[in-house]
C-alpha cells in the first residue's frame, strides 16, 4: 500500500498538500565485512577475513567482482549486520548504508532515496531483489511499504552509487540497490521467528529448507505482519502476508516464486462544493488492499573456457486499490548477459534485454465530478496502456598494468512509450597506489524511463484555509476546503543526469576508509507549477507539470570500518549534499517551482557498533544524526537518535532472544521530514527466533 507516499510528492496549493522538500543523500563510499550466517561467527573472524579484500558483488557488472577492483562507489551490507542492528524492515536497514536517506511518511510507509530528490515518488534509484526489479511500472520507483523478506534469510545488500545506466538502464540514475537472499543450500532446516512490539504490533515468520536431490535444494517461507502504533496518534492497523519458495541447483539454475498481500482500513473522505465553497463532508471506511505475485528463473552457462553467460526471465503482477496509485500492472522481463575474456588483461561484458508492460488504471479523469471530490485521488486520462523497453549494452574492461584498470561501456535503450532511444555511456578507471590504497574516477550518464504517472495522470489533494476575518483557532468549523489539481506533463523530454566522480579507498586488515566526491548535472527535471484558479471551479488551484528545470548537485561521502578487538567493531558513515535548482525558460512554464528541489546543505551521519560481550551475550548500537538546511523553505529540526539491541543465546542450538529499543530516550520524539509530520518516538520490541 502506498497511501500517502504518492501524495507526499505531488504539489498542492498554498498549504494544502503533503509536499516533501527533497533531501537526499549522496553516496559512494564503501567498506564491508564478509557475509556470514552465524551470529557468533562475525566477531570470531580474523582481521583478514573481516576486511573487504575478499568481498565480491555482482551488481556493478552482473558478474562477480572483487569489491576492491570496482572503479565506482560500491558497498556491501552483510546480513549479520542487518540482524544485529535490530531493524525490523529492509527499508530501516538501508539507513546503515552510506549516502542513503531513509525517513517515514507514516509508521508503515518508509521512503528511501540517494543523492537528493527525497520523496514518495523517488524514481532515480533501481531496486532489485536477487536481480529482479521491484520497481513500479507506473512511475519507476518502489513502494517500500510492500518490500519485505525474512531478514534472517537476507545474505547481503549490494549498493552501487552513481549512474548505472550502462549496465542496468532506465531509473538507475543515482544508483542500484540489490537485495541478495541466501541460497537454498544455506537455508536447510527450519526457522521460526516472532516479534512483539509496543502497542500490540507483531510479526511471525517460518521457513523450512530441504534437499531434493544431489546439489538440488529448496526452501519455503511465510511471514505475517500486524503493524500497530500509538492508537491515538496513528490508529491504522496494517496487515501483510508474504510467502514464497526457492528451488535451485548449485551453480546452475534457480527458480523463485512468491507473492505478497497487504491491507488496512481507511476513512475515505469526500467534500461537496457549490459555487466554489464547500457545503458538506462525508466519509466511509474502506478496505485498501494490494497484492503482487511473481516468478523468476535464472540460469548460468559456461559457453567456453573464455565465455560465461547468465540468463534471467521473470514476471510480476501488481494490484493496488489505494486512491493515490490505483491500478493493476503486469511486467514481463527477459535478459541475457555474457562476459568474454579476450586475453589475460582484457575482457568484454555484453548483453541485451526486453521488457513488456501492461497497465490497467482504475480511476478516470473523464466524467469526474469536481464538485463532489475525494480528499485525495489520482485520475488517469487513459483506461489502459501497453508498451515495451528494449536494450543492448557493451562494456570493455582492461588491466593495462598490475596497478591500472579502465572500464568503458555504453547501453542503448529504446522506450516505446515516447518512441525514443537513450544512450547511457560511462568511462571509469582505478589505480592502485600500493597494496592498501587506491584511487578511482568515473564519468557516466543515465536516464529515467518515461512515466505514465507523469504523462497521463492528474492528482487531487485537499487542503484548508481560514477565511479573512474568521477565528479558526477557536472554531475549526470556520475553515474552508479547497484543493489542488496537478495536471499531467505534456512534454516528451526524458530526464537524464551526467555525473563526475572521484574516489579514494584504503583497505587494511583492521581499518578501512572510503571516500567519494561527486558532481551531477540533471536535465529535464519535472516541476509542478502553479497556474491559477480553475476558470469553472473556484475551489480548484491548478498546477501544471513540465520538464523545464535543471539541478546541479555536489556531494561528499566518507565511510569507515574499524575492527578494534576480536569482539568489538565500529562502522561509520557521513555524507554531505547540496542541490541547486534552476529554471530553463520556455513558453510552457513560468518558473514558480524554482525552489522545490534546492537544498542549501544536508548532513547525514551514522555509526554502528557490534560488541560480543560473551559467547552468549551481544550488545549492539546504532547512532543516527541528520541536519538539513532548506534555505528559505520549511525548517526541519536536527536530530540525533540511538537504537539499542541486546541479544542472548545460551547455546548455538538454543533460541535467540533479543530486546530491541528504537529511538532510546526519545520521549518527545522528532520529525524526519519537513512535511508528512510523522513523529519518531521511542519504541520497544521483543524478538525470539529459533533455527533447527
3-class SS letters over 357-420: EEEEECCECCCCCCCEEECEEEEECCCEEEEEEEEEEEEEEEECCCCEEEEEEEEEEEECCCCE
528 alpha carbon, distance to own chain's centre: 23
Q: Convert the pLDDT of each residue in 4-38 to its tens digit.
A: 333 333 333 323 333 232 233 233 233 333 333 44
Give the whole-angstrom CA distance, residue 250 versus residue 185: 8
Q: How confident is the model at residue 554 (pLDDT cuts 50, 70, 90)?
A: very high
pLDDT score at 249: 97
pLDDT score at 234: 64
The predicted model gives 102-115 an average pLDDT of 89
Is the pLDDT reported for residue 595 higher than 90? no
Residue with cell 560465461: 308
Phi, psi of 80 (to 5 degrees): -65, -40
Give the whole-angstrom CA distance, residue 255 versus residue 94: 26
Q: What is the pTM of this model?
A: 0.89
Q: How confident is the model at residue 631 (pLDDT cuts 50, 70, 90)?
A: confident
Q: Convert the pLDDT of each residue in 136-159 to its tens digit.
A: 888 888 989 889 999 999 999 999
Give the whole-angstrom CA distance, residue 564 versus residue 610: 10
Is the pLDDT reported for residue 474 higher than 90? no
Q: How confident is the model at residue 493 (pLDDT cuts 50, 70, 90)?
A: confident
Is the pLDDT reported for residue 407 higher than 80? yes
pLDDT score at 475: 84
Find the Cα–Cα–Cα–Cα dihedral 669, 672, 673, 676, rounded to 10°.
-60
pLDDT score at 13: 34
Nearest to 112 by CA among 166, 54, 176: 176
Q: Convert the pLDDT of each residue in 318-344 to its tens digit.
A: 999 999 888 999 999 999 999 999 999
Q: Please, what is the Cα angle at 328 between 323 and 332, to 5 degrees? A: 145
Spatial contact of 18 and 7, defined as CB atoms under 8 Å apart: yes
In the chain, % of residues over pLDDT 90 = 70
Mean pLDDT of the chain: 88
Neighbours of 510 (CB within 10 A): 14
> In the 8-state DSSP scheme, what is residue 475?
-
Is the pLDDT reported for residue 514 higher than 90? yes
Burial letters 664-675, b for 16+ CB under 10 A, else e: eebeeebbbbbe
The predicted model gives 73-87 an average pLDDT of 92
Cβ neighbours for 614, distance < 8 A, ≥ 6 positions apart: none
Is the pLDDT reported for residue 166 higher than 90? no
The x, y and z cell numbers of residue 132, run together, are 529482479
- 28-32, 45-49, 535-539: segment of lowest average pLDDT: 28-32
pLDDT score at 55: 66
Give the whole-angstrom CA distance, residue 302 versus residue 307: 6
Spatial contact of 241 and 261, defined as CB atoms under 8 Å apart: yes
Q: How confident is the model at residue 62 (pLDDT cuts 50, 70, 90)?
A: confident
201 alpha carbon, distance to own chain's centre: 24
Report CA-CA distances (Å) from 692 to 55, 188, 190, 215, 247.
Answer: 28, 9, 5, 21, 20
Q: How confident is the model at residue 478 (pLDDT cuts 50, 70, 90)?
A: confident
Give the whole-angstrom CA distance, residue 300 versus residue 352: 15
Q: Convert the pLDDT of each residue in 174-223 to its tens digit.
A: 989 999 999 999 999 999 999 999 888 899 999 999 999 999 999 999 99
Q: How confident is the model at residue 85 (pLDDT cuts 50, 70, 90)?
A: very high
Strands 126-129 and 132-133: antiparallel
pLDDT score at 50: 39
pLDDT score at 17: 30
Is the pLDDT reported for residue 316 higher than 90? yes
pLDDT score at 608: 97
Amino acid at each position: 500500500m502506498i497511501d500517502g507516499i504518492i501524495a507526499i510528492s505531488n504539489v498542492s496549493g498554498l498549504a494544502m498538500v503533503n509536499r516533501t522538500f527533497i533531501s537526499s543523500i549522496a553516496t559512494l563510499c564503501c567498506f564491508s565485512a564478509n557475509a556470514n550466517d552465524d551470529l557468533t561467527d562475525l566477531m570470531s573472524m580474523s582481521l583478514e577475513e573481516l576486511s573487504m579484500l575478499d568481498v565480491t558483488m555482482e551488481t556493478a557488472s552482473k558478474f562477480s567482482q572483487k569489491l576492491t577492483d570496482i572503479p565506482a562507489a560500491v558497498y556491501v551490507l552483510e546480513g549479520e549486520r542487518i540482524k544485529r542492528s535490530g531493524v525490523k524492515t529492509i527499508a530501516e536497514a538501508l539507513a546503515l548504508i552510506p549516502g542513503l536517506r531513509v525517513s517515514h511518511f507514516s509508521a508503515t510507509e518508509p521512503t528511501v532515496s540517494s543523492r537528493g530528490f527525497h520523496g514518495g515518488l523517488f524514481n532515480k534509484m533501481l531496486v532489485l531483489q536477487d536481480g529482479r526489479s521491484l520497481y513500479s511500472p507506473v512511475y519507476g520507483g518502489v513502494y517500500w511499504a510492500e518490500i519485505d523478506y525474512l531478514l534472517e534469510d537476507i545474505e547481503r545488500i549490494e549498493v552501487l552509487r552513481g549512474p548505472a545506466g550502462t549496465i542496468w538502464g532506465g531509473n538507475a540514475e543515482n544508483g542500484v540497490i540489490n537485495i541478495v537472499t541466501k541460497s537454498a543450500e544455506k537455508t536447510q532446516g527450519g526457522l521460526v521467528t516472532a516479534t512483539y512490539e509496543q502497542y500490540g504490533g507483531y510479526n511471525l515468520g517460518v521457513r523450512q529448507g530441504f534437499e531434493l536431490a544431489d546439489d538440488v535444494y529448496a526452501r519455503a517461507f511465510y511471514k505475517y505482519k500486524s503493524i500497530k502504533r500509538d492508537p491515538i496518534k496513528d490508529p491504522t492497523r496494517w496487515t501483510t502476508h508474504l510467502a514464497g519458495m526457492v528451488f535451485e541447483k548449485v551453480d546452475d539454475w534457480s527458480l523463485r516464486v512468491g507473492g505478497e498481500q497487504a491491507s488496512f482500513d481507511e476513512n475515505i473522505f469526500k467534500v461537496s462544493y457549490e459555487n466554489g465553497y464547500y457545503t458538506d463532508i462525508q466519509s466511509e471506511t474502506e478496505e485498501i488492499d494490494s497484492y503482487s505475485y511473481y516468478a523468476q528463473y535464472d540460469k548460468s552457462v559456461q559457453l567456453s573456457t573464455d565465455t560465461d553467460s547468465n540468463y534471467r526471465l521473470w514476471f510480476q503482477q501488481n494490484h493496488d486499490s489505494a486512491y493515490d496509485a490505483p491500478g493493476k500492472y503486469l511486467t514481463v522481463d527477459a535478459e541475457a548477459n555474457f562476459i568474454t575474456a579476450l586475453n589475460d588483461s582484457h575482457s568484454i561484458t555484453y548483453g541485451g534485454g526486453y521488457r513488456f508492460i501492461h497497465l490497467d488504471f482504475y480511476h478516470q479523469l473523464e466524467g469526474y465530478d469536481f464538485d463532489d471530490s475525494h480528499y485525495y485521488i489520482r485520475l488517469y486520462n487513459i483506461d489502459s496502456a501497453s508498451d515495451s523497453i528494449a536494450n543492448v549494452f557493451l562494456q570493455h574492461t582492461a588491466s593495462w598494468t598490475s596497478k591500472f584498470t579502465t572500464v568503458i561501456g555504453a547501453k542503448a535503450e529504446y522506450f516505446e512509450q515516447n518512441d525514443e532511444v537513450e544512450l547511457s555511456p560511462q568511462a571509469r578507471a582505478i589505480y592502485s597506489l600500493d597494496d592498501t590504497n587506491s584511487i578511482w574516477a568515473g564519468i557516466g550518464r543515465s536516464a529515467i524511463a518515461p512515466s505514465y504517472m507523469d504523462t497521463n495522470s492528474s492528482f487531487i489533494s485537499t487542503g484548508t484555509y481560514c477565511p479573512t476575518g474568521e477565528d479558526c483557532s477557536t472554531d475549526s468549523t470556520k475553515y474552508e476546503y479547497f484543493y489542488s489539481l496537478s495536471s499531467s506533463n505534456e512534454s516528451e523530454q526524458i530526464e537524464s543526469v551526467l555525473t563526475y566522480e572521484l574516489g579514494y579507498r584504503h583497505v587494511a586488515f583492521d581499518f578501512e576508509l572510503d571516500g567519494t566526491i561527486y558532481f551531477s548535472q540533471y536535465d529535464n527535471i519535472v516541476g509542478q507549477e502553479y497556474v491559477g484558479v480553475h476558470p469553472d471551479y473556484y475551489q480548484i488551484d491548478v498546477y501544471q507539470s513540465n520538464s523545464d528545470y535543471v539541478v546541479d548537485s555536489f556531494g561528499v561521502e566518507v565511510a569507515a570500518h574499524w575492527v578494534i578487538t576480536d569482539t568489538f567493531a565500529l562502522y561509520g558513515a557521513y555524507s554531505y549534499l547540496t542541490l541547486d535548482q534552476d529554471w530553463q525558460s520556455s513558453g510552457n512554464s513560468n518558473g514558480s517551482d524554482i525552489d522545490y528541489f534546492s537544498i542549501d546543505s544536508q548532513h547525514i551521519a551514522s555509526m554502528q557498533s557490534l560488541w560480543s560481550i560473551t559467547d552468549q551475550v551481544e550488545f549492539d548500537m546504532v547512532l543516527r544524526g541528520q541536519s538539513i538546511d532548506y534555505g528559505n523553505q520549511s525548517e526541519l529540526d536536527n536530530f540525533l537518535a540511538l537504537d539499542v539491541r541486546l541479544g542472548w543465546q545460551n547455546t548455538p542450538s538454543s533460541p535467540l532472544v533479543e530486546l530491541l529499543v528504537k529511538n532510546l530516550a526519545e520521549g518527545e520524539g522528532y520529525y524526519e521530514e519537513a512535511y508528512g509530520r510523522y513523529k519518531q518516538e521511542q519504541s520497544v520490541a521483543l524478538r525470539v527466533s529459533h533455527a533447527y
